[in-house]
Amino acid sequence: MGQTTTDAIRLIDTARLPDGGKLLLLQSGDQFSIELDNEELMGNTDHVSEEALATMTAERLPMGDPHVLIGGLGMGFTLGAAIGAWGPGAAIDVAELIPEVVQWAKGPLAHVFGTKLSDPRVTVRVADVHDVIRGSTDHYDAIMLDVDNGPDGLVQMANDRLYGGEGLESAYLALRPGGILAVWSADPDIGFYRRLCAAGFVVDEVAVPAFAGSVHDDHVIWFATRP
């Protein structure tokens, strides 16, 4: 957990993952972090690329009031950017696998989320985003995935089905023609790029700063459009 103060790190809560792992919600002064096995998955200080996931998707969509799906609630930065990017007629669904993450958003992280969860355009479901995608056909204008640090994930081996060929085929079918699958990743992954192309998507791979002012540290977002 990055620190700019001498405040001690305090454990706020834990959440058990379906495969037995454990998430930790930590606080140090005004900094909050969600970690797994000493690896920070997300924090409330550096979120440029998480916001870019939504804003850059919106730039690529021709409509102002789409129906979009966000995979992974996190600390709400992608959600907040989506709320700001699209008009009052948009519908924004969020699928979050871990119920405690939703509880944290309404409790110890409520000041980070502000009014995002009460926006009338937003619906939050405690569900596996893979199942939500697989149960949808020609339903979404955009699907934005910020799950498990990207295709080479840390949290769940089961997320391989989300980023593998079958999962990408389901995402393709869940999108309307012209819809976009946008995937955030901490690192590049040429194999994933190739799987996106093999699934029939037209793919744009973009490097974005990992944090404000970053020169050398980048994250990756793939924008995969269904023709």
- 71 and 146 Cβ atoms separated by less than 8 Å: yes
Amino acid at 127: A
Q: What is the 3-state secondary structure (H, E, C) of the chain?
A: CCCCCCCCCEEEEEEECCCCCEEEEEEECCEEEEEECCEEEEECCCCHHHHHHHHHHHHHCCCCCCEEEEECCCCCHHHHHHHHHCCCCCEEEEEECCHHHHHHHHCCCHHHHCCHHHCCCEEEEECCHHHHHHCCCCCEEEEEECCCCCCCCCCCHHHHHHHCHHHHHHHHHHEEEEEEEEEEECCCCHHHHHHHHHCCCEEEEEEEECCCCCCCCEEEEEEEECC
pLDDT given at position 37: 77
Written as one letter, the residue type at 27 is Q
Per-residue pLDDT, 161: 82
* pLDDT of 3: 44
Q: How many CB atoms lie within 10 A of CB 84?
A: 12
pLDDT for 4 equals 47
> What pLDDT score does 157 carry?
52
Q: What is the mean pLDDT of each run of 10 residues along the chain (227 residues)?
A: 66 90 94 89 89 96 91 96 96 97 98 97 96 96 88 60 92 98 93 96 93 78 97
Q: What's the rounded Cα separation, in Å, for the pair 184 and 173? A: 20
Judge contact between 91 and 125, C-beta under 8 A.
no
